[in-house]
Structures are given as structure tokens and as C-alpha cells.
A and B are shown apart, each in its own frame.
Chain A
Amino acid sequence: MKISLALDSTSLTRRYPRLAVLVTLFMAFGLPLGLYVAALAVFPFNRPELLNAAAKEWLGWELAASPYRNLVYTGFLLLVAFIAVNYTAVFGGVSTWVERRVAGRMQSRIGPNRTGAAGFLAWVADAVKMVLKEDTIPASADNLLFRAAPYFSMVGLLLPFVVLPFGESTVVADMNVGVFYVTAVTAFVVVGILVSGWASNSKWALFGGIRGAAQVLSYEIPAGISLMVPVLMAGTLSLQGIVRAQGGCPWEWFVFQNPAATVAFIIAVTSSLAEGNRTPFDLPEAESELVAGYHAEYSGFRLAIFLMVEWANMWIMAGLAVTLFLGGWQIPFVSHAVYESARGSGLVPAPTWFLLQVASMLVFIVKTWALVFFFIWLRWTLPRVRVDQLMTLCWKYLVPGAFLCFIVTLLWLLVVPPMAVKITGILLTVFAAALLVKFLRDTRRNIDRVKGDRVDLSNW
């Protein structure tokens, strides 16, 4: 008896190429766009008093006096969380596709190009495949811990989204201890790695788990200290407060405000690479040494969660660096007062306000994707460091360096007048731009040396 799958996606899209393009466009733009629109619709009411006002205005319901008010608030937060979690999953998926295509381009091969237009749906196909696969648990594994480990990682991934600002008003909760909160909850990921390494009862997984624990815990320190530099400069731990303390133009970003902040930015990015287990610090899963490291024994849905955490973590890493150092969502030449006046006095903000929100989200997303692209680039360029070199880098260079940045920033804030800060900002921006130009010229020269680079889109 022959069993044929009626909904075989490949044959369907082969038969109707236009359908493939439509589905791809929907997934590529419709899905994130829908999430952003949902976020925009929800976030203007993302505070109890605003919800109270909305309920009174439209339903004539005194929510504040209602016994069910906590239930309503919780339900509303669940809706917000649903949007954030879905955004994570979609980003994790899309970034795998981007990474594979970028890697293909760098390695003179094609990468996934079959499922959907330009192979965009490969991540959906992969996700479906993973979910449908058998979730095997080794006979000698610690059953409970083995099952629980992926969720620790997932929690560590999802919790930072609570405070990560996507735009001027698109943030789930603007905590006054935002930076502290993020550094605290991201440590959950390492619990997942350690537990999975131990519970798998495999030597490879154990190696990976121990490596992961040592690495992430060590790099928490330079990361934490270098994140304190923008906190000092803004005078607040709230991520929104830090973004508001910066401006939209590059010389108003913290990274270019003083030389110590530039170094702190480099330290923060390096440490977050190490905390996110990205090359050149991908030791916990070092393929050529540990086969697959901590997730060697995982399969199916649980492996999918580990992989999603790994990729979606890039958003946290990049988003945090953008928020703290690169001006976050700030649109150039648009001050805080503009948002205030655009909002108007009504319950539902004016259309201009929504436009500004969209623009600020775009700024944030473009910056973050640029940094994510940089991470992808590094991964396919650099070899992996050794365990002792990893620790040397952290304890001998990054930790003292981060402390030094902290102290220099303190002195800078005390001593240097605001006028000088402006000049430093412009000087450092010019310097960075010059470096970028030099980099591009070197690239050009290297390409010319091998008699040109060919871009072949026939297989795209």
C-alpha cells in the first residue's frame, strides 16, 4: 500500500511557483509584521491605569474597582508575552535561514534554496521536522533533569524580552533595575547547559556542560562590569532610561561618548559572544572536539528548543548591545518631546505617534540585524579558541579591562566638561568611520587580488 502525503509542501510549491512566492512573502514579512502590528496595538495600554481608562471609555466598566482586575491584567500580560515569545521563535527561525545563506555565500556554495522562494521556508520545514521526530531519552539518562534542561535554557532566553525595548513605547515592562535583571535572568541558559550535560550521562555532554558552565560564569563578570559603563553614563539601570540618555546620531551614542565606553562596548560584545556560545567561543558544543557537546544526546523537540535558544540568543546579545551602546531605538534629530506632543491627549494615540513608533522600531531592528549579521560573519570566519586561552582572555584581559573602563568612565564623568564630550563623540565617530572605510578598501583590494568576486544569482 502506498501512502502519499497530500500536503507535501515541496510538490505543492513545485506545481504552483506563485504559491511558493506568496507563502514565502507571507512568512518573511507578514509574520513579523503581524507581530509588530499586534505589539503596537497592545503596548499603548500596557499599564494598569491605561487599561482601566480603556475599559471605562469603551466598555463603561470600572476595572479598577472590579474584583477581577488582577485576572484581566494577567490576561493582558499573557497576550503581550505571547507576542514576545512568538517573535523570539520567528526570529530564531529566520536567523537560521539568514545564517545558512550568508555562510553559503562565504563558502562559495548555495545554502538552502528549495523550500519556498529563495529557500526561505527551510526554517519552517526544519522546525516541523524537529517537532515530528521522536524525542529519545537515553536509557541511562536522568529522566527528569534530561526532560527539564531545555526549558531552563528557554526561560533564560525569554525573560530578557520583558525589558528589551523595541521602540519608544514598545517594551513589555520598563523596569528600574533593567540591566541588573537582564544579567540575572540570562544566567538561566547556563543552568540548562549544565543540567543537560549532567543528565545526559554521556561523556561528551558532560564535557560540554562543564565547559559551558565555566565559560558563561567567567564571562558574566566582564560582561556585567562593562554593562555598568552605560549605566554610569545614563545614571539609571532602566534600559529605556539608558536609551533616552543617548541620541539618534552616532556621536550621541554612548559607544562614542568616551574612549573607555568604546573599549567597554568591545568587551561587552566579546563577552556576550562567549555567553551565547558563538564562534570563536563555541566550546560547549565544539563539533570537532565534543561531537555536539551538551546537546549530543538530544533529539526532536528538545533539540529544537536548544537550537532555537542558541540562535534567538543572538537577538538578545545584539539587542542589548544596541540598547546600551548604540543608541537603541533613537531616531536622529527626534527628541523625547516630539513623542510626547505627537501622542496627543486622547486615549488612543494620534496616527503620527504610531508612525514615530514604527520608525523607532525600524531603527532598532536595523541596528540589531546589522550586529546579528556581524556575529554570523565572525562565526564563519574565525577558528575556535582553546579552553585555557578562553579563560586567559577573560581573566587576564577582559576583567581588568572592564574594571579599567569603569574607573576611567567614572573619572571622565567627573572631570570632562559637556562641551569636550561632544567633541570626543564627533572625533570617535570620525575615527570609526575611517576604520570602516579602510576595512572596505582592504576588502576591495583582497577581492581584486584574486581577480574579482563573482556573484551568481542563478541558483538563488
Chain B
Amino acid sequence: MAIDLELDRHILQRTSPTEEEIVVNFGPQHPSTHGVINFVTQTNGEVIRRSVPDIGYLHRGLEKIGEQVPYPGYMPFTDRIDYLAAMFANEGYAAAVERLLGIDAPPRAKYLRAIAGELCRISNHFISVGTMAQDIGAATPLTHALRERESVNDLLEELCGARLTFNYHRIGGVAFDVPEGWADKVLRFLDHLDSYIQEWDRLITFNKIFVKRLAGVGIITRAKAIDYGLAGPNLRGSGVNFDIRRDMPYGAYPDFDFNVPVGTGRVGILGDCWDRYFVRVQEIVESSKIVRQALAKLPDGDIQAKVARKLKPEAGEAVGRVESARGEMLYYVVSDGSEKAYRLRVRTGSFMAMGIIEELSSGIMVADLIAIIASLDVVAPEVDR
């Protein structure tokens, strides 16, 4: 108990308000913190001097659980690491353990992983851009985004029986093959999606007030983005052209032709909140392209490689990296030759994004802090694990 109090005091000590300043806790229960995170914020009226993220409210010991259960049994737990993009949490873990075992998923499984993953990315990015609009004060885009996301969730539910925590991947393959007629439904949805994205842009992306609120706010330069280890759309929003799907190919991704959207400073300065937002909107379109290609080229064959019933990899270590919706999702698994991992570690995009908030927050307005948190697409369970 004493240790907890010490930790709390530590965070508060970093904020030393003067006479004119107050310390406000943005969270842990706050509409815009996207989960239970506390931003201990020292403000002088509307102007913030410093905002320190106080994380750990959603810590469930998921890495430790990975050391307590056998390898295949950990798969449902990975869903809970990032429940908005659970496909990638599955995929990263499967990739790491497959490398540890020295096996490979069959081609059809790889394609199914790509299809499911990209649909999941669409679903996740709709939440991300929708909540961003909500945080800026526009209520309608969020409900439209949720409506589109429901369609994706319906498709994913048909594929794997779950809408949020999919548990779709298996070590060496995937759990279910494509149901009959599913591919047509996906294509019909993608046709709708491509025209819908244009409506979305007219509705909110280029809305004057929206652009004014985001352009030039929360600028992360290229160098700073790399220094802080940002990942995924947050990194690409600063103009760094790096995507694991293309630069460190895995699964079926070498077979696909797709662009990697990067921030350009189109309405403001390179690396501002709007750039990060727009990278996500563009990624929805790219994901749609990938799913179309994957469905067209989907090979026949097994969806599951032959693996032993009891997995006992040789002693050693392996890393699985996938491009999650929130950036790089890295699993580091150490085996001691038993049925359970000796050590399991997850590196996630949201956690990396937490570090930069303190630096970005000095001298901004209260409303800007909300915009920055939203633009970094922070999801609390992924931060705390």
C-alpha cells in the first residue's frame, strides 16, 4: 500500500503548480481519455503547462498470464491486449510462436490472416477517426463511423463467430475457413465503403472548423517521432515512411500492391494532429484495396499447418512483429523448452505514444490536449496490458 502512495506522489511531484495554476486530473474517468488513463494536468486557466499521463489503471498482468498458460491457450488472452484491433494481437502472438517452433502457416491461412486483419484495421480506424471527431465536438460522424463499423463486425462475426475478441488465429494457421458467399458480401461492403469514404471526407475531414482545430496542433517532427519510438499511423503522420507490412514483409503481404499513406502537412504543418488523422482515413482505403486483392488471389489448401498437440518449442527466443492498427505490435517470447513461455513481452503502439504527451502538452490549450490524445489513437488496455 505504501508503495502505491509513493508512486502517486511521484506523478504529482512532477507537477508543481504555482499560485496561478491548478492541477486537474483528466481521468481516470473522463469522456475523452479513451479508457481509464489519468492525465495529471497542470494548467494556468485554459493554458496547459504540463500534462503527465498516469497509466496503469487497466493493468491486468497479461504478459505474466502468458507465462502461466500453455502456448495455444494464451491466444484468447491476446484479444484483450487491444480489443479494438484484436486480430493483430492474435496475429503477432501467432507469428512469434510460429517462429519459435520453426513452422509456417499455409498460404491460404496467410491470406485469411491478411483479409481478417485488414477488415479489422478498417473497423478500428473507423472508431479512431469517429472518436476523434467526437472529441473535437462533432457528434454525428461518430455514429456514422460506428454504423460502418457494424457492417465490418458483422462480416468478421460471420467469419470467426466474434465481433470484438476474435480469437481467430491459431499457432500455424487460422481457426475457420471462409463461409459460403462471404466473399461476395465483403466485396459488396467494400464497394459501399469506397464511396462512403468520400462522403466522410465531405462530412468531417475537410470541415473548416475541424481543420482549424487540428491543423498545426500537436506537431511531432520526423526526428522527434523516431526519438520517442512512435509507431504506425502516429509515426507515418510525421512523414516517416515506414510500414512493417511493406518494409519487413510477413504473411501474405508481399503479394499485395498497396500504398503506405504518410503525413504531408496538407492543411497545416507536417506532423500535426490532422496529418495523423488523415493517415488513418487513407489507410481505410488502402485496407480495402488489400482485401480486394487477397479475395481475388485467395489460394486453395489447408488453413492450419500440422502442429503437435502439446507445443514444446526448443529453448530459445523469438520475436513476432506485425503492423497493427495502432502501429507495431511486437511479441517477444522466450522458451525454456516447456509447454509455457518462460517470458513474454508485448510492445504496443499506444504505450509508445504515451511518452510524447508530456512534451507536446506544454503551452497548449485544454482543448488541444484532447485533440492530441485523440490523434494518437490511444487505447487504454493496450497501454497497460
Expressed in whole angstroms, the minimum distance between the Cβ of B366 and any Cβ of chain A is 6
Partner of B212, one of A203, A290, A385: A385
Q: Which residue of A lies closest to B191 (CB)?
A: A451
Expressed in whole angstroms, the minimum distance between the Cβ of A342 and any Cβ of chain B is 47
Establish whether residues B370 and A107, one from each chain, have CB atoms under 8 Å apart when the complex forms: no
CA distance A280 to B213 in the complex (A): 12
Q: Check B287 for interface membership: any CB of A closer than 8 A.
A: no
CA distance A385 to B209 in the complex (A): 6
Expressed in whole angstroms, the minimum distance between the Cβ of A455 and any Cβ of chain B is 16
Q: How large is the interface on B (under 10, 10 to 19, 20 to 34, 35 or more residues)?
A: 20 to 34
Stretch at the interface among A118-126, A304-312, A376-384: A376-384
- Contact string against A for B residues 1-37, beta-carbon threshold 8 Å, 1 for contact and 0 otherwise: 0000000000000000000001010000011100000
Establish whether residues A446 and B46, one from each chain, have CB atoms under 8 Å apart when the complex forms: no
Given A288-B32, A288-B370, A385-B213, CB of A449 within 8 Å of CB of B199: yes
- Contact string against A for B residues 90-101, beta-carbon threshold 8 Å, 1 for contact and 0 otherwise: 000000000000
Given A289-B370, A449-B199, CB of A384 within 8 Å of CB of B136: yes
**A:282-297 near B, CB below 8 Å:** 282, 286-291
B213 contacts across to A, CB distance below 8 A? 383-386, 389
Establish whether residues B209 and A384, one from each chain, have CB atoms under 8 Å apart when the complex forms: yes
Given A203-B22, A449-B199, A450-B196, CB of A286 within 8 Å of CB of B30: no
Establish whether residues B144 and A107, one from each chain, have CB atoms under 8 Å apart when the complex forms: yes
Q: Check A388 for interface membership: any CB of B closer than 8 A.
A: yes
Q: Check A31 for interface membership: any CB of B closer than 8 A.
A: no
Q: Check B357 for interface membership: any CB of A closer than 8 A.
A: no
Establish whether residues A108 and B144, one from each chain, have CB atoms under 8 Å apart when the complex forms: yes
A449 contacts across to B, CB distance below 8 A? 195, 198-199
Q: Check B133 for interface membership: any CB of A closer than 8 A.
A: yes
Establish whether residues B143 and A383, one from each chain, have CB atoms under 8 Å apart when the complex forms: no
Establish whether residues A289 and B204, one from each chain, have CB atoms under 8 Å apart when the complex forms: no
**B:138-152 near A, CB below 8 Å:** 138-140, 143-144, 147
CA distance A287 to B142 in the complex (A): 14
Partner of A386, one of B22, B147, B196, B365: B365
Establish whether residues B366 and A289, one from each chain, have CB atoms under 8 Å apart when the complex forms: yes
Q: Check B202 for interface membership: any CB of A closer than 8 A.
A: yes
A383 contacts across to B, CB distance below 8 A? 133, 136-138, 204, 207, 209-210, 213
Partner of B31, one of A106, A291, A384: A291
A446 contacts across to B, CB distance below 8 A? 199, 202
CA distance A50 to B147 in the complex (A): 61
CA distance A224 to B121 in the complex (A): 51
Establish whether residues A287 and B212, one from each chain, have CB atoms under 8 Å apart when the complex forms: no
A387 contacts across to B, CB distance below 8 A? 46, 365-367
A388 contacts across to B, CB distance below 8 A? 46, 365
Q: Check A127 for interface membership: any CB of B closer than 8 A.
A: no
Q: Which residue of B lies closest to A204 (CB)?
A: B24
Expressed in whole angstroms, the minimum distance between the Cβ of B107 and any Cβ of chain A is 36
Partner of A288, one of B24, B31, B207: B31
Q: How large is the interface on A (under 10, 10 to 19, 20 to 34, 35 or more residues)?
A: 20 to 34
Q: Check A364 for interface membership: any CB of B closer than 8 A.
A: no
Q: Check B134 for interface membership: any CB of A closer than 8 A.
A: yes
Establish whether residues B198 and A287, one from each chain, have CB atoms under 8 Å apart when the complex forms: no
Q: Check A109 for interface membership: any CB of B closer than 8 A.
A: yes
CA distance A49 to B382 in the complex (A): 76
Establish whether residues B31 and A386, one from each chain, have CB atoms under 8 Å apart when the complex forms: no
Establish whether residues A389 and B140, one from each chain, have CB atoms under 8 Å apart when the complex forms: no
Q: Which residue of B lies closest to A451 (CB)?
A: B195
CA distance A244 to B144 in the complex (A): 46
CA distance A449 to B198 in the complex (A): 9
B46 contacts across to A, CB distance below 8 A? 207, 211, 387-388
Establish whether residues A382 and B365, one from each chain, have CB atoms under 8 Å apart when the complex forms: no
A207 contacts across to B, CB distance below 8 A? 46, 366
Establish whether residues B30 and A107, one from each chain, have CB atoms under 8 Å apart when the complex forms: no
Expressed in whole angstroms, the minimum distance between the Cβ of B198 and any Cβ of chain A is 7
Partner of A282, one of B45, B133, B137, B365: B137
CA distance A388 to B207 in the complex (A): 18
A263 contacts across to B, CB distance below 8 A? none
CA distance A179 to B275 in the complex (A): 47
Q: Which of A282, A381, A383 has the largest number of chain B CB atoms within 10 A?
A: A383
Establish whether residues A382 and B24, one from each chain, have CB atoms under 8 Å apart when the complex forms: no
A450 contacts across to B, CB distance below 8 A? 195-196, 199
B198 contacts across to A, CB distance below 8 A? 449
A210 contacts across to B, CB distance below 8 A? 45
Q: Check A131 for interface membership: any CB of B closer than 8 A.
A: no
Q: Check B368 for interface membership: any CB of A closer than 8 A.
A: yes
Partner of B137, one of A203, A279, A291, A451: A279
Q: Check A427 for interface membership: any CB of B closer than 8 A.
A: no
A451 contacts across to B, CB distance below 8 A? 195
Q: Check B135 for interface membership: any CB of A closer than 8 A.
A: yes
Establish whether residues B24 and A203, one from each chain, have CB atoms under 8 Å apart when the complex forms: yes
**B:173-229 near A, CB below 8 Å:** 195-196, 198-199, 202, 204, 207, 209-210, 212-213
Q: Check A25 for interface membership: any CB of B closer than 8 A.
A: no
Expressed in whole angstroms, the minimum distance between the Cβ of A392 and any Cβ of chain B is 10
A109 contacts across to B, CB distance below 8 A? 143
CA distance A338 to B20 in the complex (A): 65
B199 contacts across to A, CB distance below 8 A? 446, 449-450
Expressed in whole angstroms, the minimum distance between the Cβ of A189 and any Cβ of chain B is 21
Q: Which residue of A lies closest to B195 (CB)?
A: A450
Establish whether residues B368 and A107, one from each chain, have CB atoms under 8 Å apart when the complex forms: no
CA distance A175 to B90 in the complex (A): 72
Q: Check A303 for interface membership: any CB of B closer than 8 A.
A: no
Expressed in whole angstroms, the minimum distance between the Cβ of A204 and any Cβ of chain B is 8
CA distance A103 to B209 in the complex (A): 20
Establish whether residues A386 and B367, one from each chain, have CB atoms under 8 Å apart when the complex forms: yes
Q: Which of A103, A289, A387, A450 has the largest number of chain B CB atoms within 10 A?
A: A289
CA distance A290 to B212 in the complex (A): 20
Expressed in whole angstroms, the minimum distance between the Cβ of A51 and any Cβ of chain B is 50
- Contact string against B for A residues 155-176, beta-carbon threshold 8 Å, 1 for contact and 0 otherwise: 0000000000000000000000
Q: Which residue of A lies closest to B131 (CB)?
A: A288
- Contact string against B for A residues 369-413, beta-carbon threshold 8 Å, 1 for contact and 0 otherwise: 000000000001111111111000000000000000000000000
Establish whether residues A108 and B367, one from each chain, have CB atoms under 8 Å apart when the complex forms: no
B366 contacts across to A, CB distance below 8 A? 207, 289-290, 387
Establish whether residues B144 and A386, one from each chain, have CB atoms under 8 Å apart when the complex forms: no
B143 contacts across to A, CB distance below 8 A? 107-109
CA distance A449 to B202 in the complex (A): 12
Establish whether residues A382 and B138, one from each chain, have CB atoms under 8 Å apart when the complex forms: yes
A280 contacts across to B, CB distance below 8 A? 137, 209
Q: Which of B199, B209, B368 has the largest number of chain A CB atoms within 10 A?
A: B209
A203 contacts across to B, CB distance below 8 A? 22, 24
- Contact string against B for A residues 203-221, beta-carbon threshold 8 Å, 1 for contact and 0 otherwise: 1100100110000000000
Q: A108-B143, A203-B22, A383-B136 are in contact. List 6 more A-B contacts (CB 8 A).
A: A282-B137, A287-B31, A383-B133, A387-B367, A389-B213, A449-B198
Q: Which residues of B contact A (CB under 8 A)?
A: 22, 24, 30-32, 45-46, 133-140, 143-144, 147, 195-196, 198-199, 202, 204, 207, 209-210, 212-213, 365-368, 370
A-B contacts, 25 listed (Cβ < 8 Å): A103-B139, A106-B140, A107-B144, A204-B24, A210-B45, A286-B367, A288-B134, A288-B370, A289-B32, A289-B370, A381-B138, A381-B140, A382-B137, A383-B138, A384-B213, A385-B213, A386-B212, A386-B213, A386-B367, A387-B365, A389-B213, A446-B199, A449-B198, A450-B195, A450-B199
* 5 closest A-B pairs by CB: A384-B137, A107-B143, A383-B138, A383-B136, A383-B137
